[in-house]
């Protein structure tokens, strides 16, 4: 290591090599020289095995929050106790020395959960549960800090960004926020001198949690329903047979003792007479002591009288006998959640020994990488003088962590600066303060608090800069990053899209640096950045602090625009500083921009132009022209979006100019704007705290089915006990597999050389196609065998697997995988649908049509009106929080293997592992415990990783595990299909549809996969909820060199339905009709047939529309929206009311079947197994409810352990929203068989007999207590490309309606969803609590698809650009509707349904309703375009990103900002 011999001065300090900290109250001492220096805190926590796996790896870049832990420590300056949520995936091990790390396991467990954990569970705040521990820890940090502060407000929970760094893909966020807000309150009056009083109990805030107080009750000591967990309701310990604890001579158990091979004595008359004689003989004897009655308890064992917990109604004090009145107490209509009170004094304390811990210099590492931890600025400056550019300074590790673990960069010497107090100092608040001074490593959260403390004491005319800083801090990253990152690192790395660097430029901040040779120097920030990632910082200098001038009269404003408002990297940032004198002349001006060049820039030409000018509208207009010339961008600019970026810069300046006028009350222009009109320009969109309700009644509830029961694994989710594939204990001699992926979109493979990788210590093997049993075994595919597990001679997509490196650890395997050398010969590649159509590149196996009515050209010719258009939709990344993972354990006996896979399809996993290992399927046992989300992405594509890992396990003859990193998962696994529909529609003058002709194209990627089924469903949903007499639709699948696209929630249905909404919008626009009227007159009527000849039965959409219209006050709000749009130019609102009709069933008849096995044990407990997998949708919960209902046992007595191929053979994938329909019905049928078997014993033993007694009696009569149930969905059999009536394509239709209102900022493209009301027909819900969660989660996911979620490809390489949460933006906590109301259809009839308990599948149908947000945005943009004189219908492209919104507004600023494409220029990004 080059610089290691330059550390003599630091070595003289005798640095320690032991890292000392606490983990959940337990002391930890690590020898820093024995750990991998590249390992993170997350690596260490998870290495501790069972009991420490709640902290998850979700993205590895600090963007999802799954790895969140709380760092309990003393502030380096004030020594106050602080609780900081941090990203364990980024935190270097050295950073936790002297601190207390608290993980989700430190809060509580299933036996005694923390009140926060319990509330999240009972309020349905988790679904798949993978993200839940991280969310718990973020809220926990907030809770602990609020106790210290003395209060918690709704704004603290929702508006300050504490949850911005956490993502959830399942829930829709609302129940999580409700659970957190239940702790809201003012605690100050109940704090004891600032300390936590041991008697302090925080009351539950029902109103803040959007609940009525009657919906929940607080619990006493044993009344909490979670105590009725596995084993407590029904177990051998609860049976009535006396034991040796009860009596001196335990009797022979008549039932269960049979397993002990001792036959019981039957109660025949002869036996009774013999027993009487024996008893008489015994009574006359004086040699034997009297025996105790069989069921008596010895006097010494008499239990003490219970004291209770202090509640008058404590369960301990309840009468021992249950009266008939209590047993028949009616159930409440609304769910009554029993919630534990929160008592802060019970929290984990700060370990006393840490208060005495001395922070000393540290040196840890290996021959490859060394970490140094100086503790003083002097030590750091000396190290920098010796090492210069050879050392990497690390503070928050938000950038270095990503570079090392994802990009694979190497930093031989890293210096951790987080424990140097001099770098975290800050100035004291004072009215006379002339500059803001703070340490370069002061955490951003502390910087925000510093600004907060200064604002009340500084004069208003000198505080503008502080507000500008705060405005950027509010939307910078998540709290986990802000808690550890300082501005020094951000300045030194010179990011061209930095949020804060433009502020430092505009305010002419000075950065104070120190070197050993020159001491302290001050560098001007407006001259600091000199190139891409280059600054004027000397190599031997350290940034010590910043000095921000607080100049009187200078107005400073800062702006940022990103794809998502919260926790997103900027597209463009800007800061402006200006002083206008009393005479109206501009005396000072300074601008800073990020995202407009390769580094943060100022604009000297514009500044010079403005200097001394009058503050007038003509000056503004001329300045916009000068600025537009100065910040011009080429069409092919790196980062793309040239027109948007330039327009944003101009729009920000326009906003700033109006802000100055607003603040100084300066009228300008021929028609000066009112203050209100100026305010809509000046302000950005800021959401309000969310609210909303569910119509929480259970009108169809039976004893168990139909009730709002929490998710069966919910308590395990919130406590971190839920086990996913990568949480499973390490198996002896286990290896870890890291993939080697193609770096070309299309190329010949000339050579693959793994030799360098094999030389790395710890590497076990290289695995590729040569390790398969034969070449044919390499071919696979869900429908056609058209792809390979390992690329051989050619790669057809960027990210295609070539091989696998197996090593002793993940870090070693990934390092070695980067050393595998692959030589390519590039070939032409195709990325987009349009390219594929132009080159006639299609998957030839698929060519489908649906036709009904007259020949379509004739029907269109006869139509009164004809329109044609095209609808273009982007794809969507699944972004399940748990990436693909597999663990394969070879048995080394007959080829047997145990395969754990995060798959939705056990049969597929079994099939492909069988093929690649060359053994029959009966030797392969595929298993799933639970998935951390799936959404269709793990239906077919999970088999790719699983099969490759199986080949490695067979070759290495040892267990092999692999879990993809986020960037790998996105590169490999496929997305929702991007689609293009070219349609022509005929209609009457009243807007009634008469004919539809559509050519529908989907980008399938390099293989067919299940794209055929996706396009099938899209074609079948091109009508949405509307009747069309004459139809001809045609579907094709484009073959491209992109990742193979696959199933995603909705499976093509949303892509079809959005086309229908587009052509209806076009009709309304053409005829100048109300779109709601056009929708209404085209709705199906009961019994009408779809284009595929299926009757629409149990049709409730008209009623749903009516109910939703009334409940959402749609008509009143429509008037208000129209009025708002007339009165506002720069803000626009849109409002829509949209229906959905989603067909339920697999498109392949054979797949509509399910099998279940139900086993009853002699203690009365029930084990349910079926072919479905649990991925958060509550399938296990619903199936257990069905079993409990049918068998007449408590829900707690029923359990599902896992799904496995040796329990249920040939199971269909868990998909198509059919999990409950198929598996639930199979469970019902199995229970029906068991009920028939048990009925004679119920009759024999009477109504008071326990279930366990009935079961044991049946077993004693040799009656099987296991049954297999099967269900096949009836009346299916549609024949594709047969245009005559055949069988039904779907079993039934799940229906719903959404009313959605949005507000748009036309200057930036920002938007917010103001309100959404959803009304769903789910039949008779099996579990409304789960269905509400599915509706909310599906809606938010659908909203993401049509707004913020944009997948981009690099046009020059064919690689996916949006590889993680930093670039790909799923909705966050702040993106959900500000008011979110969900209700279910009640008092309806479903005579034709025929599903399990008359319920309906709900996982996918609400997804399309999320598209109401995009349609509402289009409604808002219609007004904006009309204001600009544009009346043409806006082209239909989704998603409606901030870029597309802004570029649709057609205002003069856009004209100034438009960048023309020149000959030969291609866009930087490609939409495939």
Catalytic residue among 1404, 1426, 1443, 1463: 1404
Minimal CA–CA distance to 157: which of 307, 166, 1325, 315? 166
Three-state DSSP state, 604: helix
In angstroms, rounded to a whole number, what is the distance separating the alpha carbons of residues 226 and 715? 8
Minimal CA–CA distance to 645: which of 535, 559, 525? 559
Angle at 25 between CA 19 and CA 27, to 5 degrees: 30
CA–CA distance from 429 to each of 450, 453, 456, 547 (Å)? 8, 7, 9, 14
Active site residue 1404: yes
In angstroms, rounded to a whole number, what is the distance separating the alpha carbons of residues 873 and 1057? 12
Instruction: Find out whether 1099 and 1294 touch, Cβ atoms under 8 Å.
Output: no
DSSP 403: I
Name every residue whose Cβ is closer than 8 Å to that of residue 448 and which is 6 or more positions away in sequence: 469, 470, 473, 474, 482
In angstroms, rounded to a whole number, what is the distance separating the alpha carbons of residues 610 and 1453? 19
Q: How far is CA 1423 from the centre of its chain?
A: 34
Dig out the tokens for 226 from the structure: 């979670």
**How is 677-692 classified by DSSP, letter by letter?**
HHHHHHPPP-PPPPB-
Instruction: Find out whether 956 and 735 touch, Cβ atoms under 8 Å.
Output: yes
Name every residue whose Cβ is closer than 8 Å to that of residue 320 and which is 6 or more positions away in sequence: none
How many secondary structure helices (H) and strands (E) does the chain include?
A: 41, 51
Rounded-to-5 percentages of helix, strand, coil across the chain: 35, 20, 45
Minimal CA–CA distance to 974: which of 874, 1046, 884? 1046
In angstroms, rounded to a whole number, what is the distance separating the alpha carbons of residues 967 and 963? 12
DSSP 1148: S
**How is 1391-1427 classified by DSSP, letter by letter?**
TT--SGGGB---SSGGGGGGGHHHHHHHHHHHHHHHH
In angstroms, rounded to a whole number, what is the distance separating the alpha carbons of residues 648 and 684? 13
In angstroms, rounded to a whole number, what is the distance separating the alpha carbons of residues 731 and 892? 14
| CB-count burial class (<10 Å; 0-12, 13-18, 19+) for 538 | middle
Dig out the tokens for 240 from the structure: 């009535």
The size of the chain, in residues, is: 1472
Dig out the tokens for 1405 from the structure: 């149908």
In angstroms, rounded to a whole number, what is the distance separating the alpha carbons of residues 56 and 101? 15
Q: How far is CA 931 from the centre of its chain?
A: 13
In angstroms, rounded to a whole number, what is the distance separating the alpha carbons of residues 644 and 1443? 6
Instruction: Find out whether 1299 and 1250 touch, Cβ atoms under 8 Å.
Output: no
In angstroms, rounded to a whole number, what is the distance separating the alpha carbons of residues 1074 and 1065? 9
In angstroms, rounded to a whole number, what is the distance separating the alpha carbons of residues 546 and 1023? 61
| Backbone CA torsion sign across 37, 39, 40, 41 | negative
Q: Angle at which helices 1412-1427 and 1053-1071 pack, to 10 degrees?
A: 30
Phi, psi of 700 (to 5 degrees): -110, 20
Dig out the tokens for 223 from the structure: 């009344």
Dig out the tokens for 454 from the structure: 């200064």
Q: Which residues are annotated as catalytic?
A: 1404
């Amino acid at each position: 290591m080059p610089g290691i011999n330059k550390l003599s001065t630091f070595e003289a300090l005798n640095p320690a090599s032991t890292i000392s900290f606490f983990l959940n109250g337990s002391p930890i001492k690590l020898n820093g020289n024995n750990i991998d220096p590249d390992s993170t805190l997350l690596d260490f926590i998870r290495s501790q095995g069972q009991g420490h796996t709640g902290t998850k790896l979700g993205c590895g870049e600090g963007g999802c929050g799954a790895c969140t832990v709380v760092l309990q420590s003393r502030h380096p300056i004030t020594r106050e106790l602080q609780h900081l949520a941090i990203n364990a995936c980024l935190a270097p091990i050295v950073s936790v020395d002297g601190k207390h790390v608290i993980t989700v396991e430190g809060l509580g467990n299933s036996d005694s959960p923390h009140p926060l954990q319990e509330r999240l569970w009972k309020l349905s705040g988790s679904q798949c549960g993978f993200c839940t521990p991280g969310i718990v820890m973020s809220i926990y940090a907030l809770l602990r800090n609020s106790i210290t502060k003395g209060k918690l407000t709704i704004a603290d929970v929702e508006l300050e960004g504490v949850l911005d760094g956490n993502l959830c893909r399942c829930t829709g966020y609302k129940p999580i926020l409700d659970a957190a807000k239940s702790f809201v309150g003012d605690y100050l009056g109940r704090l004891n001198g600032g300390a936590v009083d041991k008697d302090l109990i925080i009351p539950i805030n029902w109103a803040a949690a959007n609940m009525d107080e009657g919906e929940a009750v607080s619990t006493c000591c044993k009344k909490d329903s979670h105590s009725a967990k596995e084993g407590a309701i029904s177990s051998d310990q609860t049976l009535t047979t006396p034991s040796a604890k009860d009596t001196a001579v335990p009797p022979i158990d008549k039932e269960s003792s049979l397993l002990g091979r001792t036959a019981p004595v039957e109660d025949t008359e002869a036996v009774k007479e013999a027993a009487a004689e024996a008893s008489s003989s015994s009574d006359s004897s004086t040699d034997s002591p009297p025996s105790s009655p069989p069921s008596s308890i010895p006097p010494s064992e008499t239990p003490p009288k219970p004291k209770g917990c202090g509640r008058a109604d404590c369960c301990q004090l309840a009468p021992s006998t249950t009266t008939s009145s209590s047993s028949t107490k009616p159930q409440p209509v609304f769910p009554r959640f029993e919630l534990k009170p929160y008592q802060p004094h019970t929290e984990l304390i700060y370990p006393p020994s840490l208060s005495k811990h001395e922070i000393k210099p540290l040196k840890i590492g290996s021959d490859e990488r060394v970490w140094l931890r100086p503790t003083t600025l002097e030590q750091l400056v000396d190290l920098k003088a010796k090492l210069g550019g050879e050392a990497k300074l690390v503070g928050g590790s938000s950038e270095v962590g990503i570079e090392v673990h994802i990009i694979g960069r190497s930093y031989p010497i890293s210096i951790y600066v987080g424990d140097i107090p001099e770098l975290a100092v800050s100035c004291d608040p004072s009215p006379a303060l002339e500059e803001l001074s703070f340490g370069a490593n002061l955490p951003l959260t502390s910087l925000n608090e510093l600004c907060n403390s200064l604002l009340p004491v500084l004069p208003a005319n000198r505080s503008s800069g502080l507000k500008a800083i705060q405005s950027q801090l509010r939307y910078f990253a998540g709290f986990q990053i802000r808690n550890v990152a300082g501005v020094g690192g951000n300045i030194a790395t010179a990011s061209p899209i930095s949020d804060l660097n433009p502020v430092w430029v505009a305010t002419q901040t000075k950065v104070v640096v120190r070197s050993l040779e020159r001491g302290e120097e001050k560098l001007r920030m407006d001259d600091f950045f000199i190139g891409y990632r280059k600054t004027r910082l000397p190599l031997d200098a350290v940034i010590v602090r910043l000095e921000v001038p607080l100049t009187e009269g200078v107005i400073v404003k800062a702006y940022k625009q990103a794809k998502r408002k919260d926790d997103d990297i900027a597209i463009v940032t800007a800061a402006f500083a200006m002083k206008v004198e009393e005479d109206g002349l501009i005396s000072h001006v300074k601008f800073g921009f990020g995202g407009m060049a390769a580094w943060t820039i100022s604009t000297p030409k514009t500044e010079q132009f403005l200097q001394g000018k009058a503050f007038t509208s003509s000056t503004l207009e001329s300045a916009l022209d000068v600025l537009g010339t100065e910040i011009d961008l080429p069409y092919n600019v790196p980062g793309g979006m040239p027109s948007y970026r330039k327009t944003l810069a101009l729009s920000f300046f326009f906003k700033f100019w109006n802000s100055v006028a607003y603040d100084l009350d300066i009228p300008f222009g021929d028609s000066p704007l009112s203050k209100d009109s100026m305010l809509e320009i000046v302000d950005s969109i800021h959401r309000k705290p969310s609210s909303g309700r569910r119509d929480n009644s259970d009108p169809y509830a039976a004893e168990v089915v139909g009730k709002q029961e929490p998710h069966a694994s919910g308590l395990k989710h919130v406590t971190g006990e839920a086990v996913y594939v990568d949480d499973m204990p390490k198996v002896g001699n286990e290896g870890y597999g890291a993939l080697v992926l193609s770096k070309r979109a299309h190329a010949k493979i000339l050579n693959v050389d793994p030799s360098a990788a094999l030389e790395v210590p710890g590497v076990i093997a290289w695995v590729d196609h040569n390790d398969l049993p034969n070449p044919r075994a390499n071919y696979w595919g869900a429908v056609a065998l058209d792809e390979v597990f390992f690329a051989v001679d050619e790669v057809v997509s960027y990210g295609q697997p070539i091989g696998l490196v197996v090593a002793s650890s993940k870090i070693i395997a990934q390092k070695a995988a980067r050393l595998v050398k692959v030589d390519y010969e590039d070939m032409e590649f195709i990325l987009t649908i349009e390219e594929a159509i132009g080159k006639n590149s299609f998957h030839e196996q698929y060519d489908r049509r649906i036709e009904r009515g007259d020949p379509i050209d004739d029907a269109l010719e006869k139509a009164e009106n004809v329109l044609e258009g095209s609808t273009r939709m982007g794809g969507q990344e699944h972004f399940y929080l748990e990436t693909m993972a597999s663990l394969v354990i070879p048995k080394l006996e007959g080829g047997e293997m145990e395969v754990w896979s995060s798959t939705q399809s056990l049969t597929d996993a079994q099939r492909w592992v069988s093929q690649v290992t060359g053994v029959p399927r009966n030797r392969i046992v595929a298993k799933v415990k639970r998935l951390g989300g799936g959404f269709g992405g793990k239906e077919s594509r999970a088999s790719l990783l699983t099969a490759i890992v199986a080949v490695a396990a067979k070759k290495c003859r040892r267990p092999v595990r692999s879990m993809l990193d986020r960037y790998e998962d996105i590169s490999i696994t496929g997305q929702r299909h991007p689609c293009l529909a070219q349609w022509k529609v005929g209609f009457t003058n009243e807007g009634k549809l008469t004919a539809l002709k559509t050519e529908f194209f989907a980008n399938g990627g390099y293989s067919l996969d299940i794209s055929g089924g996706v396009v099938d469903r899209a074609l079948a949903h091109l009508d949405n909820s509307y009747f069309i007499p004459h139809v001809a639709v045609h579907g094709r699948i484009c073959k491209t060199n992109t990742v193979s696209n696959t199933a995603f929630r909705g499976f093509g249905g949303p892509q079809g339905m959005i086309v229908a909404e587009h052509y209806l919008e076009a009709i309304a626009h053409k005829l100048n009709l109300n779109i709601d009227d056009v929708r209404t007159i085209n709705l199906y009527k009961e019994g009408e047939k779809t284009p595929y000849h299926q009757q629409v039965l149990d049709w409730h959409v008209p009623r749903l529309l009516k109910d939703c219209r009334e409940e959402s006050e749609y008509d009143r709000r429509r008037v208000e929206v129209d009025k708002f749009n007339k009165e506002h130019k720069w803000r626009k609102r849109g409002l829509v009311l949209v229906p959905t009709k989603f067909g339920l069933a697999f498109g392949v008849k054979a797949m509509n079947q399910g099998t279940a096995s139900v086993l009853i044990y002699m203690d009365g407990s029930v084990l349910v197994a079926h072919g479905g997998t649990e991925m958060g949708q509550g399938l296990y919960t619903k199936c257990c409810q069905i079993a409990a209902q049918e068998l007449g046992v408590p829900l707690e007595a029923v359990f599902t352990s896992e799904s496995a191929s040796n329990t249920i053979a040939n199971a269909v994938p868990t998909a198509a929203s059919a999990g409950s329909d198929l598996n639930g019905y199979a469970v019902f049928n199995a229970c029906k068989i068991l009920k028939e078997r048990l009925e004679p014993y119920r009759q024999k033993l009477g109504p008071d007999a326990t279930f366990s007694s009935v079961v044991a009696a049946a077993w004693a009569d040799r009656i099987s207590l296991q049954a297999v149930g099967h269900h096949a969905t009836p009346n299916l059999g549609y024949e594709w490309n047969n245009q005559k009536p055949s069988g039904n394509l779907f079993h039934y239709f799940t229906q719903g309606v959404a009313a959605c209102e949005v507000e748009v900022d036309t200057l930036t493209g920002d938007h917010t969803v103001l309100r959404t009301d959803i009304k769903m027909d789910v039949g008779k819900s099996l579990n409304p609590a789960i269905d509400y969660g599915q509706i909310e989660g599906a809606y938010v996911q659908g909203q993401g698809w049509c707004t913020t979620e944009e997948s981009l490809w690099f046009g020059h390489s064919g690689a996916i650009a949006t590889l993680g949460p930093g670039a790909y933006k799923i909705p966050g906590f702040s993106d959900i509707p500000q008011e979110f109301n969900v209700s279910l259809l009640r008092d309806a009839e479903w005579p034709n349904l025929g599903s399990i308990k008359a319920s309906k599948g709900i996982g996918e149908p609400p997804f399309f309703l999320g598209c109401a947000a995009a349609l509402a945005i289009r409604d808002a943009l219609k007004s904006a375009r009309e204001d600009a004189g544009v009346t043409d219908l806006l082209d239909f492209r989704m998603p409606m990103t901030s870029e597309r919104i802004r570029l649709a507004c057609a205002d003069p600023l856009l004209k100034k900002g438009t960048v023309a494409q020149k000959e030969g220029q291609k866009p930087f990004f490609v939409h495939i």
